[in-house]
Amino acid sequence: MLCQECQKRVATVHLTRIINGEYTEQHLCEQCAKNKGEFDFSHNPFSLQSLLTGLMNVDSQTLMGFTPKKLQCNNCGLTYAQFGQIGRFGCSECYQAFGERLVPILRRIHGSTQHVGSEPRRAGGAVKLRRNIEELKQQLQRLVEEEKFEQAAVVRDQIKKLESRATDGGKKDV
Amino acid sequence: MFNGKKVKTSKWMSSAGPDGEIVLSSRIRLARNIKGLPFPYLASDSQTEEVKKQVYAIYQDKALSQQFGNMSFLSMHKLSPLERQVLVEKHLISPMLVKENHNAAVLLSDDEAVSIMINEEDHIRIQCLLPGLQLEQALAEANRYDELLEEKLDYAYDERWGYLTVCPTNVGTGLRASVMVHLPALSITKQINRVLSAIAQVGLAVRGLYGEGSEITGNLVQISNQITLGQSEEEIVKNLFGVTRQIVEQEAQARQVLLNEGRDRIADRVNRAFGVLTHAWLLSSQEAMQLLSEVHLGIDLGLIKEIKGEVIKELMVLQRPANLQLMAGQSLDAFERDRIRARLFRERLAQ
Ligand SMILES: [Zn+2]
Ligand SMILES: [Zn+2]
């Protein structure tokens, strides 16, 4: 959702106010909320917008010369630059199109880069699950060799979770 | 005076549920999208119509009613603005569903516990809303609908990223779990800010219902998870449940302190609120929410015995502008609403 005030940045501050007896919902970006002095109660640990732009700047510097002119999703037409501006994907294929660039962004937002929850039955579980576990094990080994123990611990926990799911047959266990 | 429609009582308003004195409701929301179709904000009318058609076909299929009983399929553009706003005020749909676009719709269960929003931010959002602290139950219920939809819809899913969503903050499980808690004693004893910032520090989001000034109107706070990737649905729900239980404990302790250290003072306060609520002639929504909060506390503490907490919980919704106008059968300006609102309380709370 875009900020109602500037229509540019992603709204991360959501307020329900009562003005003249009317409930109104306000959706503002962090900056506009600050400008309006309405930031005292929202405990947003990060601003998605500044996070995205921050990461993308780093990205474009380090990858200069390697980056194709226009990284774009063929399915919906959204460019990576637009994604950075609005903080939203255009369709499910964008995830594939933007590929590895999403890794640092999603890690910053969620502290993880591997889904461990339920999956649709038709995604057809068990085989893929094992492949995922294998990949993570290799990643774990690399991290240990590089002495990145904190990250390694996270990956190790993910492997545990996936392994317990593999023994459940990959089904929802609620 | 109330010649309009009767507002149907949603499941979450109809009873207290576990820990219902402090936890008014529990909500689970699953974000789902259809593979390949542009997300609603980017989609053409015919593309959003395609989403709506696919869900409509499920609605018409016998399997749905066999498993879940009667449901209603409501197209937003066929409802009046007032009827839509009533659904928002009852928390059955999001404000965004009303705003977004032409092909927005909701599939609503008969008891109004489950609403499946179509063409909201994501193509599909499955919501289950239950009274009291019932996160696991709400998740189980939402999952049952999710499994049925998944048989017919080609969900956007990726082995690594999980369920693919419009916003990167929802990707993975697509799960947002939340509770609405009523914390009058923590507020009166001035501990609420400490408690809320502690919640924010463990990675949960806190939202208050704002009044003018920075008071939290009605002492109502919503707490929800922020992380959706790298944790399973069960972990997310367990974590929120644990934190909510701690808040319930703290509020309960604060209530005990109020009773032990000033029983007459708190009895005076809540009964005064009850007096105003049952005798006032004009009441703004904000004042009403504050009074309802204090009366709810009075009921919880056994200081007001004439009415039940659920009645107050329902009135918190019915007193909102769209609900009032639907019941009155006409549109009302702010002054008229204050008058009708006061009358609603006098009628509902009179013995
Ligand atoms: Zn803004
Ligand atoms: Zn795309």
Reported as a single tens digit per residue, the pLDDT across B85-104 is 999 999 999 988 988 667 99
Contact B89 A89 (CB under 8 A): no
Q: Is residue B87 part of a domain?
A: no
Reported as a single tens digit per residue, the pLDDT across B270-293 is 999 999 999 999 999 999 999 999
Please list all protein residues whose beta carbon sits less than 5 angstroms from ligand 1, which is an ion: A 3, 5-6, 9, 29, 32
Q: Is residue B22 part of a domain?
A: no
Q: Please determine, for residue B166, whether its predicted confidence score (pLDDT) is greater than 90.
A: yes
What are the tokens at B337?
């609403």
Residues whose CB is less than 8 angstroms from the CB of residue B88 and which lie 6 or more positions away in sequence, other chains included: B94, B95, B98, B322
Task: Quote the crossing angle between the two packed helices B233-279 and B285-300, to the nearest 10°.
Answer: 100
Distances (CA, A) of B66 to B69, B108, B139, B261, B321: 6, 15, 20, 55, 37
Distance A14 CA to ligand 1 centre (A): 12
Of B208, B230, B285, the CB nearest to A111: B230
The predicted structure's pLDDT at residue A40 = 38
Distance B274 CA to ligand 1 centre (A): 41
The secondary structure element, H or E, covering residue B284 is none
Q: Which of residues 107-146 of A touch B (CB under 8 A)?
A: 109-123, 128, 131-132
What are the tokens at B127?
């919501």
Residue with tokens 């459940």: A168
Q: Is residue B39 part of a domain?
A: no
Of B35, B162, B210, the CB nearest to A15: B210
Q: In chain A, what are the domain boundaries?
A: 1-42, 48-110, 121-167
Give the integer Cα–Cα distance in Å for B5 and B293.
26
Give the integer Cα–Cα distance in Å for B233 and A174.
9
The total number of structural domains in chain B stands at 1
This model of the complex carries an ipTM of 0.89
Structural domain for B296, as ranges = 252-349
Which amino acid type is present at position B18? P
Contact B41 A110 (CB under 8 A): no
Q: Does B302 touch chain A (CB under 8 A)?
A: no
The predicted structure's pLDDT at residue A129 = 72
Percentage, residues of chain B above pLDDT 70: 97
Mean pLDDT, chain B, whole residue set: 93
Q: Does A93 touch chain B (CB under 8 A)?
A: yes
Q: Does A59 touch chain B (CB under 8 A)?
A: no
Q: Which of residues 14-73 of B touch A (CB under 8 A)?
A: 33-39, 41-42
Of A23, A43, A92, the CB nearest to B206: A43
Average the pLDDT over B56-72 and give the result: 90
Reported as a single tens digit per residue, the pLDDT across B184-205 is 999 999 998 889 888 888 889 8
Label residue A57 by pLDDT band (50, 70, 90): low
Strands B216-225, B204-210: pairing kind: antiparallel
Q: Is residue B55 within 8 Å of B116, Cβ to Cβ?
A: yes
Q: Is residue B23 part of a domain?
A: no
Give the integer Cα–Cα distance in Å for B47 and B64.
24
Residues whose CB is less than 8 angstroms from the CB of residue B85 and which lie 6 or more positions away in sequence, other chains included: B98, B321, B322
Report chain A residues whose CB lies below 8 A from the CB of B230: 110-116, 154, 158
Q: Is residue B272 part of a domain?
A: yes
Of B37, B162, B285, the CB nearest to A117: B162
Q: What is the CA radius of gyration of chain A?
A: 20
Least confident of A16-30, A127-141, B333-347: A16-30
Q: If you count them, how many residues does chain B have?
A: 351
The three-state DSSP-derived secondary structure of B210-271 is ECCCCCEEEEEEEEEECCCCCCCHHHHHHHHHHHHHHHHHHHHHHHHHHHHHHHHHHHHHHH
Which amino acid type is present at position B52? K
Least confident of A31-45, B21-35, B98-112: A31-45
Reduce the DSSP state of residue A24 to 3 states and report it: strand
Contact A92 B162 (CB under 8 A): no
Q: Does B203 touch chain A (CB under 8 A)?
A: yes
Reduce the DSSP state of residue A123 to 3 states and report it: helix
Report chain A residues whose CB lies below 8 A from the CB of B152: none
Percentage, residues of chain B above pLDDT 90: 83
